[in-house]
Chains A and B, each alone.
Chain A
Amino acid sequence: SQTIHQWPATLVQPVGSPLSLECTVEGTSNPNLYWYRQAAGRGLQLLFYSVGIGQISSEVPQNLSASRPQDRQFILSSKKLLLSDSGFYLCAWSLGPNNQPQHFGDGTRLSIL
Chain B
Amino acid sequence: QKEVEQDPGPLSVPEGAIVSLNCTYSNSAFQYFMWYRQYSRKGPELLMYTYSSGNKEDGRFTAQVDKSSKYISLFIRDSQPSDSATYLCAMRGGVQGAQKLVFGQGTRLTINP
Chain A interface (Cβ within 8 Å of chain B)? 6, 32, 34, 41-44, 46, 49-51, 57, 59, 90, 92, 94, 96-99, 101-107, 109
Contact = CB atoms under 8 A, between A and B. Distances in A.
B113 to A, nearest CB: 26
B111 to A, nearest CB: 20
Given A41-B8, A44-B44, A106-B42, A51 B105 contact: no
Contacts, number: 65
A109 B41 CA distance: 8
Interface of B: 4, 6, 8, 32, 34, 36, 41-46, 49, 51, 88, 90, 92, 94, 96-101, 103-106
Contact of B44 (A6, A59, A90): A90
Contact of B96 (A34, A46, A98): A98
Contacts of A109: 41
Given A43-B104, A46-B101, A97 B43 contact: no
B4 A97 contact: no
A41 B107 CA distance: 9
Contacts of A41: 8, 105-106
Contacts of B92: 99
B44 A32 contact: no
Given A90-B43, A105-B43, 7 more contacts: A43-B6, A49-B100, A99-B96, A101-B34, A101-B46, A101-B49, A104-B44
